[in-house]
Amino acid sequence: MREFILFSRGVTKEFKLNDLPNAGRMDLIARCISTAIFLSYSLRKDVKFHVVLNGPPSPPLTVTFFTNELKNVSPDERNIASHINIAIKNFGIGKKNSEPGIYIDKKSFEELVKEKIEEYGSNNIFYLHMDGEDIRNIEMKKDSVFILGDNKGIPKKEENFLLRNEIRKVSVGRIEYLTSQVIAIVNYEMDRRGL
């Protein structure tokens, strides 16, 4: 399974679809999900995308999109954001899986990463950062987890947690890209390796 974890400041309440940037950069979040899970005219197989929402009023919440089960999701940001909104709304009435392939839980970034360390081992988890080792020199398996920050990056406390757990910093070059652009590059590198 290819998995992505995005640390975000996305809001943890319902938001207006006409104003995604003011919902903790929900536009960025939706763009990242679209880039991670879609190919031209199809969904990728075996991809999980987790976004940890750390914005107000009641953080954290983690929303997961699992491509093997998803239905009625399209690549545009507004559509993806609308599914996040549905997940947040239904979590309010106790539902953790109100649409196929979309899950939500009260899980923090650190809890989620700990789960993935147990599942895959920290040597198969990569923290995407401009100052890391070149991705082209890194051996990767089909089962890999990629951790990224939003426009403000990953806070020091969470970054220290990753480094303490021996999660390697990996770079796609010495230019600072948008998170969604880094996801496209990671997918491309994995695809080129047939993973």
Ligand X SMILES: C[S@@+](CC[C@H](N)C(=O)[O-])C[C@H]1O[C@@H](n2cnc3c(N)ncnc32)[C@H](O)[C@@H]1O
What is the torsional sign of CA 100, 14, 81, 158? negative
In three-state secondary structure terms, 65 is strand
**Residue choice 128, 145, 162, 190 for contact with ligand X (CB under 6 A):** 128
Tell me the longest C-alpha to C-alpha distance in the chain: 47
Buried b (16+ CB within 10 A) or exposed e, 104-135: bbebebeebbeebbeebebebbbbbbeeeeeb
Residues composing the chain: 195
- Residue 98 Cβ vs ligand X, minimum distance, rounded to whole Å: 29
The answer to whether residue 22 forms part of the interface with ligand X (CB under 6 A) is: no
**Residue choice 51, 112, 182, 190 for contact with ligand X (CB under 6 A):** 182
Question: In this complex, which beta carbon is closest to ligand X, that of residue 28 or of residue 87?
Answer: 28
The answer to whether residue 160 forms part of the interface with ligand X (CB under 6 A) is: no
The answer to whether residue 10 forms part of the interface with ligand X (CB under 6 A) is: no
**Residue choice 13, 120, 122, 153 for contact with ligand X (CB under 6 A):** 153
The answer to whether residue 172 forms part of the interface with ligand X (CB under 6 A) is: yes
The answer to whether residue 80 forms part of the interface with ligand X (CB under 6 A) is: no
One symbol per residue from 81 to 120: x for binding ligand X (CB under 6 A), - otherwise; what is it?
----------------------------------------
Q: What is the DSSP string of 126-159?
A: EEEEEEEEEGGG----SSEEEEEE-TT---HHHH
The answer to whether residue 155 forms part of the interface with ligand X (CB under 6 A) is: no
- Residue 114 Cβ vs ligand X, minimum distance, rounded to whole Å: 19
The answer to whether residue 8 forms part of the interface with ligand X (CB under 6 A) is: no
Q: What is the DSSP string of 4-15?
A: EEEEE---SS--
- Residue 158 Cβ vs ligand X, minimum distance, rounded to whole Å: 11
**What does the alpha-carbon distance between residue 103 and residue 137 come to, in Å, rounded to a whole number?**
34
Residues that bind ligand X (CB under 6 A): 128-130, 148-149, 151-154, 171-173, 175-179, 182
